[in-house]
A and B are shown apart, each in its own frame.
Chain A
Amino acid sequence: MKHIAIGILGAATLGLMASAATAGTLDTVKAKGFIQCGVSTGLAGFSAPDDKGDWKGLDADFCRAVAAAVFGDGSKVKFTPLSAKERFTALQSGEIDLLSRNTTWTSNRDSALGLDFVGVTYYDGQGFMINAKKLPGVNSALQLSGAAVCVQSGTTTELNLADYFKKNKMEYNPVVFEKLEEVNAAYDSGRCDVYTTDQSGLYGIRLTLASPADHVVLPEIISKEPLGPAVRQGDDQWAHVVRWTYFALLNAEEAGVTQANVDEMKTSNDPNIQRMLGTEPDGKYGSDLGLSNDWVVNIVKAVGNYGEMFERNVGSGSPLKIARGINALWTKGGLQYGPPIR
């Protein structure tokens, strides 16, 4: 009898502990009333604080989109700036609920690091930037043998760089720093000839240099850098919420739902839009995800659709002026493709 009782007690305790451990992030987030979102320490266009300390950028806006989906209010999000080194443990340990910090999706990170990438909010590739004024005549990365290359440590960039120079049998001097600001400062002061990181980053960084016009981004793209938000492994419900927030942004753009016309669109007769905006009679796509049925309306009201987010932060509406390129919707020849909401 005694043994059985202890066994039941033990099992119950274990069960309790297990459920406490996996108590969904969604519930935790709803209980505390905001999303803790990990961002970079400052990368123009993706996540950088402005003069007032408000976080701006594509990655920051994605956090707001998730907050809008969960709470109907895009401002219920708190940002934690993280260095490359801290970002994974911060997510693993539960310090943040969502990592939206220009992080490359790789198999290793998806498996051994305990992360779960939900999608690719920005398809990027690694490139090189040089000071054309100081190095006239260099117009290809293959001419860079012997150069000093500035790179941020602990990134996939650092690894790709080593691979690229090795493959092309070229020499280089790595100049490695922990933080982006340090890499920027070193490149700007002339400590190295070449700056390498994701191309989008290069465009953003170029603007912060002392004389942006002197610097050119070389045409070569040496790697695939699918950047996207990640959540902790083993919490499917939360992963779904984040993943479908991203898909909703894409679908909204595809259907032409914008921040300006979202309220008019609610009266649309298009069943596709009705399903998406939760106006379809007894549709419950939102509540199935654990959200309200007008979740997409909230998202679009808070940050607009994916296209608007892109143009505002990194595209034509921003100083970066990056073309959509492969980040256009699939209907326009790009790679961004949102599975249907139904």
Chain B
Amino acid sequence: MASQEILSEEPNRGSFINDPKIRSLVFQTLVVILLFGSVWWVVNNVIDNLQRLHIASGFAFLKGRAGFDISQTPIAYTSDSTYGRAIIVGLINTIIVAVAGIVTATIIGFVVGIGRLSQNWLIQKICTVYVEVFRNIPPLLVIFFWYSGVLAVLPAPRDSIHLPFGSYLNQRGFYFPSAIWGDGSWLILVALVVALAMAWFVAHRARQRQLTTGQQFPVFWTSVGLIVGLPLLAYALSGFPVTFDFPKQSTFNLTGGFQVKPEFLSLYLALSCYTAAFIAEIVRAGIRGVSKGQTEAAAALGLRSGSILRLVVVPQAMRIVIPPLTSQYLNLTKNSSLAIAIGYPDLTATAGTVLNQTGQAVEGVLIMMVVYLILSLVTSAVMNVVNARMALVER
């Protein structure tokens, strides 16, 4: 009774149906009810289906013995390992191909992108053709092209193509000598670490010197000298402990050395080529986005053309480039799941096999989704940090 009196005392603001606050409240409540209702319905159906069909559920299967082998195992894995470990192997394989692809795609993309703005007509046209071809065909097709169109028609192991430095190329992949680290190899590693530290120090000092005196110091070549020279020196001093294992012909394959499988090779090449076309466009847009006044002002200050590019144009272009570059990196990582079509044992493939051997589809697909989501979030987070450092700091 009391509430009614209060209501009647309210000033007349028209019907409360028209109050946007109440409307939105009602609407949202409806949405929540609808959502929970359908989630409850789905979960209920899943449970009902699983029970009715006597399908096992839960994540206990991850501890079971996998029983199958994987062709590329960056961490120790045999058929005796668990399903969980098989999925981790797949995840690492995904990360390997994604990182390798990102690095190569970025390099090709920048070269092609700058090439499209080149004064040189021929280079510009070649780069344009490259971009227009790869941007407009599906990545899966590019992968198949490398795999069935290029790598599969290479010669058989018996007639491998000899390449320099004891490497071979045949339809089973690319073979190159692997290093065997003998006694005393640790010295080389130590030397490398010391060289890196020194290079950083030199760079730091050189910048300080330039800020105070204006004099420049050839940082790049000093660093290269340090990073290459010191480990070489250590290698010689410790008595040449590193030997190489060269690939040799055996009954079936080349054995020894390090083998890069064609599945990896074609996935890596395809992802790099495909994504590079998009990165090239981003880079082009980025460089064109830096206004001409900037370049002219830099020239008026007396900077050389190399310095203009390095100190004025690129830092500003990077601000435009990085956000879309991030989404290209994410796309590449997600596209690496196409590995399944050519049998590269990435996350989708191994999780798929586990799903099939155990019959636990719900859990299998769930794991796949969550892991990719985490990968994407991590990549965005890293790129956001880079972006924050690149962003315009307003003073």
- A–B touching in complex (CB under 8 Å): yes
Picked from B255, B343, B359, the residue with its CB within 8 Å of the CB of A114 is B359
- The main secondary structure of chain A at its interface with chain B is mixed
- In the complex, the answer to whether B52 meets A112 with C-beta atoms within 8 Å is no
Which stretch of A36-44, A178-186, A284-292 is in the interface?
A178-186
Residues of chain A contacted by B356 (CB below 8 angstroms): 84-85, 88, 153-154
Kindly state the separation between the CA atoms of A92 and B341 in the bound complex, as whole angstroms: 25
- In the complex, the answer to whether A191 meets B171 with C-beta atoms within 8 Å is yes
Residues of chain B contacted by A159 (CB below 8 angstroms): 67-68, 79, 357
Residues of chain B contacted by A172 (CB below 8 angstroms): 69
User: Which residue on chain B has the smallest CB distance to residue A171?
Assistant: B255
B340 at the interface (CB under 8 A from A): yes
Residues of chain B contacted by A309 (CB below 8 angstroms): none
User: Which residue on chain A has the smallest CB distance to residue B354?
Assistant: A154
Interface residues of A in 127-144 (CB under 8 A from B): 134-135, 138, 143-144
Residues of chain B contacted by A333 (CB below 8 angstroms): none
Q: A173-B253, A178-B340 are in contact. Are A134 and B357 (CB under 8 A)?
A: no
Which stretch of A160-168, A199-207, A239-247, A324-332 is in the interface?
A160-168
Residues of chain B contacted by A29 (CB below 8 angstroms): none
- In the complex, the answer to whether A88 meets B352 with C-beta atoms within 8 Å is no
Kindly state the separation between the CA atoms of A153 and B355 in the bound complex, as whole angstroms: 11
Residues of chain B contacted by A176 (CB below 8 angstroms): 70-71, 343, 345, 349, 353
User: Which residue on chain B has the smallest CB distance to residue A130?
Assistant: B252
- In the complex, the answer to whether B49 meets A112 with C-beta atoms within 8 Å is no
- In the complex, the answer to whether B53 meets A232 with C-beta atoms within 8 Å is yes
The contact string, 1 if C-beta is below 8 Å from chain B, for chain A 295-317, is 00000000000000000000000
Q: A158-B68, A175-B71, A178-B340 are in contact. Are A109 and B359 (CB under 8 A)?
A: yes
Kindly state the separation between the CA atoms of A108 and B61 in the bound complex, as whole angstroms: 13
A69 to chain B, nearest CB (A): 24
Kindly state the separation between the CA atoms of A159 and B358 in the bound complex, as whole angstroms: 12
B319 at the interface (CB under 8 A from A): no
A13 at the interface (CB under 8 A from B): no
B206 at the interface (CB under 8 A from A): no
Residues of chain B contacted by A22 (CB below 8 angstroms): 52
User: Which residue on chain B has the smallest CB distance to residue A89?
Assistant: B361
Q: A21-B48, A173-B253, A234-B52 are in contact. Are A162 and B68 (CB under 8 A)?
A: yes
Residues of chain B contacted by A191 (CB below 8 angstroms): 152, 171-172, 262
B331 at the interface (CB under 8 A from A): no
B148 at the interface (CB under 8 A from A): yes
B251 at the interface (CB under 8 A from A): yes
- In the complex, the answer to whether B255 meets A189 with C-beta atoms within 8 Å is no
User: Which residue on chain A has the smallest CB distance to residue B61?
Assistant: A112
Kindly state the separation between the CA atoms of A189 and B263 in the bound complex, as whole angstroms: 14
A187 to chain B, nearest CB (A): 11
B56 at the interface (CB under 8 A from A): yes
Kindly state the separation between the CA atoms of A21 and B340 in the bound complex, as whole angstroms: 36
A211 at the interface (CB under 8 A from B): no
B83 to chain A, nearest CB (A): 12
User: Which residue on chain B has the smallest CB distance to residue A91?
Assistant: B53
Q: A148-B172, A178-B343 are in contact. Are A85 and B68 (CB under 8 A)?
A: no
Residues of chain B contacted by A111 (CB below 8 angstroms): 54
A225 at the interface (CB under 8 A from B): no
Kindly state the separation between the CA atoms of A303 and B148 in the bound complex, as whole angstroms: 40
Kindly state the separation between the CA atoms of A232 and B67 in the bound complex, as whole angstroms: 26
Residues of chain A contacted by B263 (CB below 8 angstroms): 175
Residues of chain B contacted by A175 (CB below 8 angstroms): 71, 263, 343
- In the complex, the answer to whether A146 meets B68 with C-beta atoms within 8 Å is no
A19 at the interface (CB under 8 A from B): no
- In the complex, the answer to whether B53 meets A234 with C-beta atoms within 8 Å is yes
Picked from B48, B252, B255, B357, the residue with its CB within 8 Å of the CB of A135 is B252
Kindly state the separation between the CA atoms of A294 and B35 in the bound complex, as whole angstroms: 53
Residues of chain A contacted by B54 (CB below 8 angstroms): 111-112, 114, 233-234
- In the complex, the answer to whether B353 meets A185 with C-beta atoms within 8 Å is no
B250 at the interface (CB under 8 A from A): yes
Kindly state the separation between the CA atoms of A299 and B157 in the bound complex, as whole angstroms: 52
Kindly state the separation between the CA atoms of A50 and B172 in the bound complex, as whole angstroms: 33
Kindly state the separation between the CA atoms of A234 and B78 in the bound complex, as whole angstroms: 37
Kindly state the separation between the CA atoms of A174 and B171 in the bound complex, as whole angstroms: 15
A131 to chain B, nearest CB (A): 10
B190 at the interface (CB under 8 A from A): no
Kindly state the separation between the CA atoms of A173 and B263 in the bound complex, as whole angstroms: 13
Q: A114-B54, A182-B343, A189-B148 are in contact. Are A174 and B70 (CB under 8 A)?
A: yes
Kindly state the separation between the CA atoms of A177 and B250 in the bound complex, as whole angstroms: 25
User: Interface on B for A, CB 8 Å cutoff?
Assistant: 48-49, 52-56, 67-71, 78-79, 148, 152-153, 156, 158, 171-172, 250-253, 255, 262-263, 340-343, 345, 349, 352-353, 355-359, 361
29 A-B pairs (CB sep. < 8 Å): A21-B48, A21-B52, A92-B55, A112-B54, A112-B55, A112-B56, A146-B250, A146-B253, A147-B251, A153-B68, A153-B353, A154-B352, A154-B355, A154-B356, A158-B68, A158-B69, A158-B353, A159-B67, A161-B69, A172-B69, A173-B71, A174-B69, A174-B70, A174-B71, A176-B343, A177-B343, A191-B262, A234-B53, A234-B54
